[in-house]
Amino acid sequence: MKCPFCGYAESKVIDTRPADEGERIRRRRECLSCEKRFTTYEVVETTPLMVIKKDGSREVFSRDKLLRGMIKSCEKRPVSLSVLEDAVADIQLTLQNRLEREVPSSQIGELCMEKLKGIDQVAYVRFASVYRQFKDINSFLAELKNILQHEENGS
């Protein structure tokens, strides 16, 4: 495993633990050159989940891409990385349990918004503003009113 700090190709495993309810193995490693520590995850290789994008093109589902989008939405918010990683794991598990090999990006976006709504409302609005591509301030305000109505109704 290549060190993300110095690029050296050899490291030693310091700790190994199951992660994501046994779906992955978390390994804590130490570079044999610079001695810095880093974490890797080992996952069983499965048939890839394909994402059908808005333009009709297809790409392989990327857990990292989804996590990066959620991290960006939560920038400068009091949300820990572990909470976001758990949310991404839940979304991925939901998609895999559907047993569909191709999923529209819109379904992934909706699942992501549902998770963010429960984690942090500001992050939810940030994600929704990019995902739903609000055309003007009125469409943005309509979404905010929708959130407030759900809160008032106790949803």
- Asked if 37 and 59 sit in the same domain, the reply is no
User: Which has the higher per-residue pLDDT, 100 or 87?
Assistant: 87
- Asked if 64 and 139 sit in the same domain, the reply is yes
Q: What pLDDT, on the 0 to 100 scale, is given for residue 103?
A: 94
- Asked if 16 and 63 sit in the same domain, the reply is no
Quick check: 23 and 41 in contact, CB under 8 A?
A: no
Q: What is the residue range of 95's domain?
A: 47-152
How many domains in the chain? 2
* Residue 9: band (very low, low, confident or very high) from pLDDT cuts 50, 70, 90: very high
Q: What are phi and psi of 12, to 5 degrees?
A: -115, 145
Q: What pLDDT, on the 0 to 100 scale, is given for residue 154?
A: 65
Q: What are phi and psi of 45, to 5 degrees?
A: -75, 125
Q: What's the length of the chain?
A: 155
Enclosing H/E stretch for 104:
strand 102-104
What average pLDDT does the segment 102-124 reach? 92
Decide if pLDDT at 152 tops 80.
Answer: no
User: Which has the higher per-residue pLDDT, 91 or 138?
Assistant: 91
Q: What pLDDT, on the 0 to 100 scale, is given for residue 126?
A: 86
